[in-house]
Chains A and B, each alone.
Chain A
């Protein structure tokens, strides 16, 4: 299992989609390809945009199917971030059904 501390990369407001893409391509996809579980640690992040979360996880769901979410845990998310992640996962599942 690997843990990705996002605050170090994004600052307290996670909005930079380029950073999300880098994390996805360089950390998440290789980990999932190796069969590892991933913890995305939002400790210290006050808020995130839907675009950031979409750029972080939507392609994983498209590439590996919605079950890939079972391999990802979202740690230390405040209420707003939890809701944004839920929105993205919901619409990606609706899209793939």
Chain B
């Protein structure tokens, strides 16, 4: 496997980074990095960490880092995760207020503990972190329940005080969305599976409306909606497909759509295959009232979607 950490890879410009990733070919991981500058979204780090975690340190080859900004990788815990010595000497500062370093979460108890630690770690007030806790809880629970991921979920986040935004990355190396969705639905491609997974009321656990006793198929729709109302990016990459919710321009209405392809978005297929799922999301923490307002929009769209889907299945009279 090969992966190259570029000088810049955030959700808006992540595609070239993904195109350059070389999936499994032998039991080693080669990591390269831009020699002058590294400024990347946490989603890049959770991908590298997830690939390297199952390997022994001697199977991971990290190019000598020369970029001055490479200490960021050290601070986020990447080398510790990979079990290698970066040779980077930094003065450790407390992470409080700025970032959540790479963390592996394998079960429900670890998730609940992690969620509790987030608020003090970022020095934000609890109201500001409603959406953040919501996103991490729902995404990681998806991994724990559906992904069958050997590494569990790998999570990292970075807070940007300049625009009061938090950037979150979550990866797993499990069965992927297509495999999960196709247990009870039919998706012919990875992108079609992502589309279904983002549609409210569609879950991989049943084809029945209303879901099962523990799954409704709402989690990813909620998260995409949080990003949309924040006018931020949301990216989901599974198998060879990428779906990217694009930023809505200020002034444009925040209408939610059940079908993610009706949102302003881009998508790409035939990317190098990621065995599992990667999610990146940016959330603005500026307006705490927005989460409550968002729930009104979700209620409206969700019920309408379920109603319409049920109506499509109604038997029709046969007039002859």
Kindly state whether residue B296 has any CB partner on chain A within 8 Å.
Answer: yes
Assess whether B141 is in contact with A17, with CB atoms less than 8 Å apart. Answer: yes
Chain A 31-73 near chain B by CB (<8 Å), digits 1 or 0: 0000000000000001101110011001100100000000000
Chain A 79-97 near chain B by CB (<8 Å), digits 1 or 0: 1100110111011101111
Assess whether B134 is in contact with A54, with CB atoms less than 8 Å apart. Answer: no
Assess whether A49 is in contact with B306, with CB atoms less than 8 Å apart. Answer: no
Kindly state whether residue A21 has any CB partner on chain B within 8 Å.
Answer: yes
Assess whether A46 is in contact with B299, with CB atoms less than 8 Å apart. Answer: no
Pick the contact of A54: B137, B214, B291, B298 (CB < 8 A): B214
Closest-by-CB residue of B relative to A88 is: B216
Assess whether A58 is in contact with B213, with CB atoms less than 8 Å apart. Answer: yes
Assess whether A46 is in contact with B130, with CB atoms less than 8 Å apart. Answer: yes
Chain A 19-35 near chain B by CB (<8 Å), digits 1 or 0: 00100100000000000
Kindly state whether residue B303 has any CB partner on chain A within 8 Å.
Answer: yes
CB distance from A17 to the nearest CB of B (A): 6
Assess whether A94 is in contact with B292, with CB atoms less than 8 Å apart. Answer: no
Q: What size tier do the contact residues of chain B reach? A: 35 or more
Assess whether A50 is in contact with B303, with CB atoms less than 8 Å apart. Answer: no
Bound-complex Cα distance A87 to B209 (A): 14
Chain B 98-122 near chain A by CB (<8 Å), digits 1 or 0: 0000000000100110011000000
Kindly state whether residue B211 has any CB partner on chain A within 8 Å.
Answer: yes
Bound-complex Cα distance A49 to B219 (A): 9
Assess whether A96 is in contact with B210, with CB atoms less than 8 Å apart. Answer: yes
Pick the contact of A58: B115, B211, B291 (CB < 8 A): B211
CB distance from A1 to the nearest CB of B (A): 24
Kindly state whether residue B310 has any CB partner on chain A within 8 Å.
Answer: yes
Chain B 3-47 near chain A by CB (<8 Å), digits 1 or 0: 000000000000000000000000000000000000000000000
Bound-complex Cα distance A86 to B141 (A): 22
3 tightest CB-CB pairs across the interface, nearest first?
Answer: A95-B210, A59-B213, A83-B295
Interface residues of A (CB under 8 A from B): 11-13, 15-18, 21, 24, 46-47, 49-51, 54-55, 58-59, 62, 79-80, 83-84, 86-88, 90-92, 94-97
10 inter-chain pairs at a CB distance below 8 angstroms, sorted by A residue, are: A11-B116, A21-B213, A51-B215, A51-B218, A54-B215, A54-B216, A62-B213, A87-B295, A91-B200, A91-B218
Interface residues of B (CB under 8 A from A): 108, 111-112, 115-116, 126-127, 130, 133-134, 137-138, 141, 200-201, 208-211, 213-216, 218-219, 222, 291-292, 295-296, 298-299, 302-303, 306-307, 310
